[in-house]
Amino acid sequence: MTIKVGDKIPSAMLTTMTADGPAPVSTDEFFAGKTVAFFAVPGAYTPTCSAKHLPGFVTHAGDLKAKGADVIACMSVNDVFVMNAWGKDQGADDKVVMLADGNADFTKALGMELDASGFGMGTRAKRFSMIVKDGVVTELNIEDPGAFHVSSADHMLTQL
């Protein structure tokens, strides 16, 4: 079942890179007590994700935070090393938290998995974004296959 507005974020573990190496991130802790502008991409370094999706959030990080986002987070079904390198290449640094869902556990718990095996990519996340306030989804934007609009930073700015 796909998550919907009003639902609590499911408990899962993601991974992020720290100065000390890979570190687990509990979704219960990550989303608690704050407003998170969260978006997911089918794959790091893929064309739309690298040319438009992540760059939009990097560019508009200050605007999103000014409108109430405490944290901006990008997730993909990639390993933490790929997510870290991609974030560095894109200048995400202290603007966007890069989260790896290496086994797609969180993606599946959200009901947002995408079968990209036809492209040799296995299970991935659909392209989507959501605003999560204290662990509860208040806005959810799921892209149609091949589309890029409602999950963009520009669109999320209208929702905060």
Q: Does residue 63 fall inside a structural domain?
A: yes
38 within 8 A of 2, measured Cβ to Cβ: no
Q: Does residue 1 fall inside a structural domain?
A: no
- The number of folded domains in the chain is 1
Query: Residue 20 is part of which domain span?
Result: 13-157
78 within 8 A of 66, measured Cβ to Cβ: no
The first and second tokens of residue 103, run together, are: 């086994």
Q: With CA atoms as reference, report the closest residue to 126 among 110, 138, 103, 102.
A: 110
What is the reported pTM?
Answer: 0.95
Indicate which CATH number applies to the domain containing 19.
3.40.30.10
The first and second tokens of residue 11, run together, are: 């408990």
* Average pLDDT of the segment spanning 54-58: 96
What local confidence, expressed as pLDDT, does residue 146 receive? Answer: 85
Q: Report the catalytic residues.
A: 49
Residue-wise pLDDT tens digits, 92-124: 999 999 999 999 999 999 999 987 777 777 688
H/E element, 21: strand 21-26
38 within 8 A of 127, measured Cβ to Cβ: no
Q: Does residue 6 fall inside a structural domain?
A: no
Instruction: Report the sign of the C-alpha dihedral through residues 76, 79, 110, 119, in that order.
Output: positive
Q: Does residue 113 fall inside a structural domain?
A: yes
Q: Does residue 4 fall inside a structural domain?
A: no
Residue-wise pLDDT tens digits, 74-98: 999 999 999 999 999 999 999 999 9
